[in-house]
Protein backbone atom coordinates (compact mmCIF):
# COMPACT_ATOMS: atom_id res chain seq x y z
CA UNK A 1 0.00 0.00 0.00
CA UNK A 2 1.03 3.59 -0.64
CA UNK A 3 0.26 6.44 1.74
CA UNK A 4 0.03 9.52 -0.44
CA UNK A 5 0.60 12.20 2.20
CA UNK A 6 3.20 12.31 4.96
CA UNK A 7 5.04 15.20 6.57
CA UNK A 8 8.41 15.12 8.29
CA UNK A 9 10.13 18.08 9.90
CA UNK A 10 12.87 19.01 12.31
CA UNK A 11 11.94 21.97 14.48
CA UNK A 12 15.61 22.65 15.19
CA UNK A 13 16.11 23.28 11.46
CA UNK A 14 12.88 25.11 10.59
CA UNK A 15 9.91 26.20 12.62
CA UNK A 16 6.49 25.07 11.56
CA UNK A 17 4.74 28.32 12.38
CA UNK A 18 1.36 26.94 11.33
CA UNK A 19 1.38 24.66 14.40
CA UNK A 20 -0.33 26.92 16.91
CA UNK A 21 -2.91 26.52 19.61
CA UNK A 22 -3.58 23.90 22.22
CA UNK A 23 -5.30 21.48 19.83
CA UNK A 24 -2.16 21.26 17.65
CA UNK A 25 0.28 21.08 20.57
CA UNK A 26 0.93 17.33 20.07
CA UNK A 27 2.30 18.15 16.60
CA UNK A 28 4.80 20.72 17.91
CA UNK A 29 7.76 18.35 17.87
CA UNK A 30 10.20 16.93 15.38
CA UNK A 31 8.94 14.11 13.15
CA UNK A 32 11.76 12.22 11.43
CA UNK A 33 11.65 9.74 8.58
CA UNK A 34 13.34 7.21 10.88
CA UNK A 35 10.32 7.47 13.17
CA UNK A 36 7.85 7.11 10.28
CA UNK A 37 9.43 4.04 8.67
CA UNK A 38 8.71 1.41 11.33
CA UNK A 39 5.20 2.79 11.93
CA UNK A 40 4.45 2.69 8.20
CA UNK A 41 5.80 -0.82 7.77
CA UNK A 42 3.80 -2.06 10.78
CA UNK A 43 0.67 -0.61 9.17
CA UNK A 44 1.37 -2.38 5.88
CA UNK A 45 2.54 0.75 4.08
CA UNK A 46 5.29 -0.06 1.59
CA UNK A 47 5.74 3.42 0.18
CA UNK A 48 4.86 6.99 1.01
CA UNK A 49 4.84 10.45 -0.53
CA UNK A 50 6.46 13.21 1.49
CA UNK A 51 4.64 16.53 1.20
CA UNK A 52 6.08 19.97 1.88
CA UNK A 53 4.88 21.94 4.88
CA UNK A 54 6.30 25.44 4.46
CA UNK A 55 6.19 27.89 1.59
CA UNK A 56 9.88 28.44 0.93
CA UNK A 57 12.65 27.10 -1.29
CA UNK A 58 14.74 25.33 1.37
CA UNK A 59 12.48 22.45 2.30
CA UNK A 60 11.98 20.71 -1.06
CA UNK A 61 15.69 19.91 -1.62
CA UNK A 62 15.81 18.49 1.91
CA UNK A 63 12.81 16.25 1.21
CA UNK A 64 14.36 15.11 -2.08
CA UNK A 65 17.58 14.22 -0.25
CA UNK A 66 15.55 12.11 2.17
CA UNK A 67 13.84 10.43 -0.78
CA UNK A 68 17.19 9.64 -2.40
CA UNK A 69 18.26 7.69 0.66
CA UNK A 70 15.04 5.99 1.64
CA UNK A 71 13.28 3.11 -0.02
CA UNK A 72 10.05 4.02 1.75
CA UNK A 73 9.76 7.38 -0.04
CA UNK A 74 8.23 6.85 -3.47
CA UNK A 75 7.64 10.52 -4.17
CA UNK A 76 7.91 14.09 -2.98
CA UNK A 77 5.39 16.88 -3.42
CA UNK A 78 7.48 20.01 -3.03
CA UNK A 79 7.16 23.73 -3.33
CA UNK A 80 8.45 26.30 -5.76
CA UNK A 81 7.05 29.67 -6.69
CA UNK A 82 4.72 28.83 -9.56
CA UNK A 83 4.25 32.54 -10.30
CA UNK A 84 7.97 33.21 -10.83
CA UNK A 85 9.08 33.89 -14.41
CA UNK A 86 11.87 31.31 -14.02
CA UNK A 87 9.64 28.52 -12.70
CA UNK A 88 10.82 26.12 -15.43
CA UNK A 89 14.43 26.66 -14.34
CA UNK A 90 13.47 26.11 -10.70
CA UNK A 91 11.75 22.84 -11.54
CA UNK A 92 14.70 21.69 -13.62
CA UNK A 93 17.07 22.49 -10.75
CA UNK A 94 14.94 20.48 -8.33
CA UNK A 95 14.77 17.44 -10.61
CA UNK A 96 18.57 17.58 -11.06
CA UNK A 97 19.16 17.19 -7.31
CA UNK A 98 19.73 13.84 -5.60
CA UNK A 99 16.24 12.41 -5.23
CA UNK A 100 14.96 14.73 -7.95
CA UNK A 101 13.61 11.77 -9.88
CA UNK A 102 11.08 11.38 -7.06
CA UNK A 103 9.61 14.88 -7.42
CA UNK A 104 6.04 13.99 -8.34
CA UNK A 105 4.27 17.30 -7.78
CA UNK A 106 4.32 20.88 -6.61
CA UNK A 107 1.89 22.16 -4.02
CA UNK A 108 0.89 25.79 -4.19
CA UNK A 109 -0.84 26.77 -0.97
CA UNK A 110 -3.21 29.59 -1.81
CA UNK A 111 -3.61 30.61 1.85
CA UNK A 112 0.06 31.71 1.85
Q: Assign residue 53 the CATH number of its domain.
A: 3.20.20.140
15-48 pLDDT, tens digit per residue, is 999 899 999 999 999 999 999 999 999 999 999 9
Domain ranges, residue 9:
2-106
How far is the first Cα of the chain from the last one, in angstroms, to the nearest whole number? 32
pTM over the 0.85 mark: yes
Domain membership of residue 74 (yes or no) is: yes
Q: How far apart are CA 97 and CA 61, in angstroms?
A: 7
Residue 57 banded pLDDT, cuts 50, 70, 90: very high
CA 91 to chain centre: 15
Q: How many domains does the chain have?
A: 1
Instruction: Classify residue 102: in a domain, yes or no.
Output: yes
- Asked if 1 and 44 touch (Cβ cutoff 8 Å), the reply is yes
Alpha helices in the chain (DSSP H): 33-42, 59-69, 87-96
**Beta-carbon contacts of residue 108 (< 8 Å; ≥ 6 apart):** 79, 82
Amino acid sequence: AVDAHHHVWDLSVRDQDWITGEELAPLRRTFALAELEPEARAAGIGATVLVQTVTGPEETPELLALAAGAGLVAGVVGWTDLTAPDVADSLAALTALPGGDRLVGIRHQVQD
